[in-house]
Structure formats: structure tokens, C-alpha cells
């Protein structure tokens, strides 16, 4: 079981922002920006492009809804999209609120938030999820 499957199963806590039958969205615990969200399929698959077509297509549509909620909740110009997947072997998409290109950089120092701040950020995004 991957760490993300444990999060999805509720065995490890997360700051959830959205969920449906097939996907789970939650705050990245080591964010490059305020409102940095990860979207993962509930189905366990390591590499994003090994997902079956329906799961991958559905993930894009679910991510669109999450990105729309992020943009309403967090001041930003756009929501950037990144796939890395070198650390956690469970497919996921990074959704990152940005106002400039440098906001996307994973090499910058990560942002630090207190648990209460993470909770408030997740709640603000969740409240805008449709
Ligand atoms: P990568 O697999 O390279 O896309 O990186 C995995 C991402 O997952 C990193 O940005 C981590 O900060 C994030 N991450 C790892 N463990 C957790 C966790 N328990 N909760 C939230 N985010 C996590």
C-alpha cells in the first residue's frame, strides 16, 4: 500500500480539499506555494501514464474542478500543473497557484505553515469545490 493509499483510506491524516469515487485531492505537506494541492487516483498505480485511459481522462476533469476551486480560494493568476512522481510511487498531479513562473520551482525553499493554517487553506479550497 502506498503512502497516498494510506492517506486515501484515512490511515494517515491529510488536509483534504476534495474527493469523489475515484480521486482524492489534498494539500502537499511540503508546498512550493500556498494552496499547493495533489490530486491522486484512488486506484493504485505508480506512473501517471500507466493509468488506464478512463482513469487518466477522469483525473484531468477532476483536476479541472479542483483547480477552479483553488483559483477562487487563493489569490493567483493561474493554477500551474506539474507531474514529477519521483518521490511517491502513486500517480499524482501537482496543482500550484502561481502569479509568476518562479512560483512553480521545486528547487525553491518550501513554504512553512502551521497545522491551523493548512486546515484553513484546505477548508477555503474545499468550500469552493463544485
Ligand atoms: P513527487 O513524487 O516527486 O511528485 O513528490 C511527492 C510529493 O508528495 C512532494 O511534493 C511531497 O511534499 C508530497 N508528499 C509526500 N508525502 C506527503 C504526505 N504525507 N502528505 C502530503 N503530501 C506529501
What digits encode the pLDDT tens for the residues 11-68?
999 999 999 999 999 999 999 999 999 999 999 999 999 999 999 999 999 999 999 9
Does pTM surpass 0.85?
yes
| Substitution candidate for ligand 1 out of 88, 95, 113 with most atoms within 8 A of CB | 88
| Torsion region of 85: left, alpha or beta (phi above 0 gives left; psi -120 to 50 gives alpha) | left
Grid cell of 62 as nine digits:
477532476
Mean pLDDT of 90-113: 98
Pairing of strands 93-98, 78-82: antiparallel
Q: Tell me the C-alpha distance between 130 and 13, whole Å.
A: 23
Cα 86 to ligand 1 centre (Å) = 10
Choosing from 87, 94, 113 the residue with most ligand 1 atoms within 8 A of its CB, the one to mutate for a pocket test is: 87
* pLDDT at res. 22: 98
Task: Give 18's strand partners.
Answer: 25
- Report all structural domains of the chain as residue ranges with CATH numbers, in order of start: 3-127 (3.30.428.10)
Specify the residue for cell string 493568476. Answer: 77
User: Which ligand 1 atom minimizes the distance to the CA of 89?
Assistant: 2
Would you say 110 and 96 are in contact if contact means Cβ atoms under 8 Å apart?
no
Q: Which residue carries 500507466 as its cell? A: 50
Query: Is 94 annotated as catalytic?
Result: no
pLDDT of amino acid 103: 97
Instruction: Label residue 107 by pLDDT band (50, 70, 90).
Output: very high
Amino acid at each position: 500500500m502506498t503512502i497516498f493509499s494510506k492517506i486515501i483510506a484515512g490511515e494517515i491524516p491529510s488536509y483534504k480539499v476534495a474527493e469523489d469515487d475515484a480521486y482524492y485531492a489534498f494539500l502537499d505537506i511540503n508546498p512550493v506555494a500556498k494552496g499547493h494541492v495533489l490530486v491522486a487516483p484512488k486506484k493504485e498505480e505508480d506512473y501517471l501514464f500507466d493509468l488506464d485511459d478512463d482513469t487518466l481522462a477522469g483525473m484531468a476533469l477532476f483536476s479541472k474542478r479542483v483547480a477552479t476551486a483553488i483559483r477562487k480560494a487563493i489569490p493567483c493568476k493561474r493554477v500551474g500543473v506539474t507531474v514529477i512522481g519521483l518521490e511517491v510511487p502513486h500517480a499524482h498531479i501537482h496543482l500550484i497557484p502561481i502569479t509568476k513562473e518562479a512560483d512553480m520551482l521545486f528547487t525553491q525553499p518550501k513554504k512553512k505553515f502551521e497545522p491551523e493554517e493548512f486546515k484553513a487553506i484546505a477548508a477555503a479550497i474545499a468550500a469552493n469545490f463544485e
